[in-house]
Structure 1
């Protein structure tokens, strides 16, 4: 016979909810401000009270069991109740967002889309914390530790919610003094004698970005970096041509090269664990990112 559910198990429900969303005990411990052993003990106590396992190890970290799926609505109701009580204690009459939302995203997306969007949201919701890890990489099958992961190219994953945020184009650019010194390419074949500032080929793990450079028949390596901002800076400094996102280039700072002959279209996608997609704070961050991604400045530039 299962143990009696007591008030003390409320902590277990909230802790279980954090592990279900983040996929790792260590990440849940950090979000709750407790240690790993406390997370383990609370989940174990909850499982003892419910008479079965609510979490099991899976390909994406800790995942819900059948019992865990049945317990999730109760855990989410408990979370909402605590948030409502917190709002009342603060003298408010409306539910405010709280907790910390963790986002992993490429550096260009972080600077041009995520920061403007999330800054506006945080001004409206001062109780909301946001952590951003910048990384340009392929989708990790273990999406542990991040509530939202932004990746380049359509992801193919199970047990996750995927949302396309923005399609954009990579184009070739150069500084005017570079073109004055080295000449302006008149065709793709002319690129063989020019340097290209782009990602380090041996460490680039994103197929959609790799295929952009491979569409250029031949070129000389320029200054290679894992950061798109280094690509821009190298190009502005005249170190070669840059294969750059349109939205990352300030008007007048660089000259488009072969604008009608070459561009490479890629896209940003958001990936969330199914459990995270039900979290009000995560949903609010996603809504802010989607709205910012639709801004006019991110629409395709046309060249005649």
Structure 2
């Protein structure tokens, strides 16, 4: 088999085995037979001059260095194939078709659905693909059409609109404070149930750089999921930091130390400049800017 005989199916099989760790699981994920997956892997190995892509271990199939080297290229092909399908879902000048949006966990799960519901009600021929992840999507590789980011994009080929700063604050439910008492100072927090991280993240490092001394042992509930932290605050498990706009105007919650415990996340809506002429993507981009601006105003001054 030569290079010209390679197809997208071979890369799909490679990615599926890489993600699932077995031929049978990869076959189930793609809806094909196990021999088909095995044949695709063998054909890829043949093109590479016989270099093995996976080795067997008690845990399943483990990717070799050769497989790891192929991953960026296979992921780029996957993103391009998905982008091609989205492009074919509707003409550029129509308000119909798919738009893929990526955003942080909290924004993607707690904020964007209501904004997308409004857009969908006005334009029912639109379809949305929502990726809620704190991993930064590569818009140049077309992992998504639009991204909501908490850092300024650095790539020059992107259209980026800064919509402001999302405020973070410290909150607790009133019934928790009724049980445990309201801390009068930051030092009093040591006697309370605090909600925070399990492993240090770049977000934690950013808060520490702003003067907040955070370490794992101070938390009685530890999770690296921002959504889980917020859900635990909302459930009354203890005191934690979350986006002000989520609960600032809910009477069940009290904001603690608004002077000392306030932080901000700059927020950008971005898309690839090549998509500026796509009517549906531009419409969704503008609606996201408007909706997220209103969301920020909810928390402003709370």
- Alpha-carbon distance change, 278 to 24 in structure 1, aligned in 2, over 3 angstroms: farther
CA apart distance, 1:234: 1.5
Please name the residue that 2:242 is paired with. 244
1:131 is paired with a residue of what secondary structure? strand
CA apart distance, 1:244: 0.8
Q: Distance in 2 between matches of 1:98 and 1:160?
A: 23
Q: Distance in 2 between matches of 1:139 and 1:188?
A: 37
Alignment check: 8 A CA contact 2:139 2:272 kept: no
Match of 2:128 among 109, 113, 130: 130
Alignment of 1:10-25 (within 5 A): 24-25=76-77
- Alpha-carbon distance change, 218 to 100 in structure 1, aligned in 2, over 3 angstroms: closer
Alignment check: 8 A CA contact 1:139 1:151 kept: no
CA apart distance, 1:104: 0.7
Alignment check: 8 A CA contact 2:103 2:133 kept: yes
How big is each residue's C-alpha offset from its partner over 1:200-229, in whole Å with a ceiling of 9 and x where there is no partner? 433x344xx542356323561232334333
1:122 is paired with a residue of what secondary structure? helix
Q: Distance in 2 between matches of 1:181 and 1:266?
A: 32
Please name the residue that 1:263 is paired with. 262
CA apart distance, 1:109: 1.7
How big is each residue's C-alpha offset from its partner over 1:89-118, in whole Å with a ceiling of 9 and x where there is no partner? xxxxxx631221111112322244422222
CA apart distance, 1:175: 2.1
Alignment of 1:1-304 (within 5 A): 24-33=76-85, 83=91, 96-138=94-136, 140=138, 143-202=141-200, 204-206=201-203, 210-212=205-207, 215-217=211-213, 220-249=218-247, 251-295=250-294, 298-302=297-301
1:117 is paired with a residue of what secondary structure? helix
Q: Distance in 2 between matches of 1:183 and 1:263?
A: 21
Q: Distance in 2 between matches of 1:236 and 1:27?
A: 36
Aligned length: 223
Give unmatched runs, 5+ long, in structure 2.
Answer: 1-74
Alignment check: 8 A CA contact 1:101 1:131 kept: yes
Q: How high is the TM-score relative to the length of structure 1? A: 0.62
Q: How high is the TM-score relative to the length of structure 2? A: 0.62
1:161 is paired with a residue of what secondary structure? strand
RMSD (Å) for aligned C-alpha atoms: 3.2
Q: Distance in 1 between matches of 2:141 and 2:224?
A: 21
Give unmatched runs, 5+ long, in structure 1.
Answer: 1-22, 35-75, 85-94
CA apart distance, 1:256: 1.1
Q: Distance in 2 between matches of 1:295 and 1:281?
A: 21
Q: Distance in 2 between matches of 1:83 and 1:296?
A: 31
- Alpha-carbon distance change, 285 to 106 in structure 1, aligned in 2, over 3 angstroms: same
CA apart distance, 1:139: 6.0
